[in-house]
Amino acid sequence: MTFKDLSEYLQKLEKITSRNEMVVILAELFKKVSGDEIDKVIYLLQGRVAPLYEHIEFNIAEKSMVKAIAQAYGKDGKEILKDYKKVGDLGELAQNLSVKKDSKVTVGQVFESLQEVTDALGAGSVEKKMTILSNLLQSLDGLSARFVSRIPVNKLRLGFSDMTVIDSLSWMIAGDKSLRKDIEAKYNIRPDLGYISKTLKKKGIKGLDDVKPQVFTPILMARAERLSSGEEIIEKIGECAVEPKYDGFRLQAHFDGKTVKLVTRSLEDSTFMYPDVVEGIKKELSAKNVILEGEAIAYDTKTESFLPFQLTTQRKRKYGIEEKAKELPLKMLVFELLYLDGKNYIDEPYEKRREALKKIIKNGSDTIVLSEEKTISDPKKVEELFDVYMAEGLEGIVAKRLDGTYQAGARGWNWIKLKRSYSKSALDDTIDCVVLGYFYGKGKRTAFGIGAFLIGIYDEKHDKFMSIAKIGTGLTDDEWRELAKRGEKLKASEKPPLYEVDKNLFPDVWIEPEIVVEVRADEITRSPIHTAGRIMKASKSGSAFSVDVPGYALRFPRLERFRDDKKSSDATTLTEVTKMFKLQKK
């Protein structure tokens, strides 16, 4: 496929706001692409040349991209920079300057050139990157140049999620979304849409049967459902294993006998941050090839107690890592085994995973420690254990079904959390929300450029983000500055297609769905203006809509912390908020 052909599809997608229309257009594109190209097409649609979990970046600033465009078309750099400030879009700038009407450059050739850009490192790399990009732009027609020039600076942003692509792959094969569940289950084990699409294109849906855990390929982490009491937990899953719920860094560790890789919930490679955990895995595990999960928490060796998250979070840093590791050593409490020496443990019941885990973690280990666990069938003992762990400063408990498998990337009843006393008030717990946009500040906040921000939750059924609160108080000056800084980098030119927001709540600036914040509130209420769970009713004429069921809203919301360890799809779901709303009414 030529890149011009791909660009014509990108142009269609750029103009569409309906997710369903996007699914159909993407499916049409995927049908036309060959099995050898589809992975490259999907990476490019994501604005990348590798899966999201691989730390391969372009490292090109917008000004450098402007210079590359000027160089490509033989223009003066300062004049083109002025033009860019007027236009505000690198794609439009390149398209306006291009004189080529047609181009036979293939998707593969564009992909290879962009790979060369990411490979250029060290002294003189910026100049080399600009030369590669300018030569590439020279070879392209105007429409192709429009989209290629946006990719290295992360400005392609077509407004669809991984789930949209998965639905499109299902549509490509079956003509509908019926295969979504099957494809998503394998994607959760190998979150590489390029690999998944290539397998589907060449082998069909049966080809995904070969998708198994691989050391150094992150697996999307399982998530827990929630219930309000020990009685409900036992009623739901019967006798179960109860583990403490720690408040630290959830890590997935990959080890091949020599090398360790630590991955966060958001698929970020954090190996370099935690050298003590890395050394602990190398010295204290009896395994040659293993993937396991646990929670890393700062530990006070004098009092032999875990430290609060506010101290643990100081270990997340780029500089002074070794010094901070000595000051705040970590213990990794391991609670899951996903793969061991050639055997896939994801589909094994919890009891087998736990027994195998016990065999590879040495007794008396300093850093890598097996999580506590008790098998309980009495609801009262579940509640008692919950109280014990809360008194120790932990977050509560997680109950696990004894015959339950590990549900990668999904919430399910194999894990149930009783995180805080939901039986009294669901809002004793916090809610993870996505920042949808922000409003300009007034008075003192004009210095920050932001005075309030709009947050939303995830509607997993419709793959949408729905508004649930507007926050304008409770942040420190540093937190306002941090949010403004992050928001500036993620500005969207218009409302992202995955957002459903009432027009009366449109922010001054829309933000791409990448910032996740943990929010506390007094309670969940109903509001006709927020869209989370709102149902609209059309008039008889069909010309107007009124609110039939008001949406959910947070009363007195305030920021607890930024959740950099989570992706937007990890935000609290509409299903969860609905349950929390019902629980607080008990």
Active-site positions? 245
Distance CA 464, CA 533 (A): 11
Task: List 552's β-bridge partners, or say none.
Answer: 526
Q: In the chain, what's the furthest Cα-to-Cα distance?
A: 77
Question: Which tokens go with 234?
Answer: 């036992």
Rounded alpha-carbon distances, angstroms, from residue 381 to 242, 350, 378, 514: 10, 20, 5, 40
Taking the CA atoms of the chain, what radius of gyration do you get in angstroms? 25
Classified as helix, coil or strand, 225 is strand
Structure tokens at 22: 């996007």
The residue count for the chain? 586
Do β-strands 499-500 and 464-471 pair in parallel, antiparallel, or remain unpaired?
Answer: parallel
In one-letter notation, the amino acid at residue 576 is: E
How would DSSP label each residue in 235-286?
A: HHH-SEEEEEE--SEEEEEEE-SS-EEEE-TT--B-GGG-HHHHHHHHHHB-
CB atoms within 10 A of CB 63: 12
- Which of 67, 127, 126, 54 has the alpha carbon at shortest distance from 93? 67
Which amino acid type is present at position 180? R
Q: How many other CB atoms are there within 10 angstroms of residue 318's CB atom?
A: 7
**Cα separation of 331 and 284, whole Å?**
12
C-alpha 569/C-alpha 574 separation (Å) is: 12
Is the distance from CB of 405 to CB of 389 less than 8 angstroms? no
How far is the C-alpha of 248 from the C-alpha of 270, rounded, in Å? 14
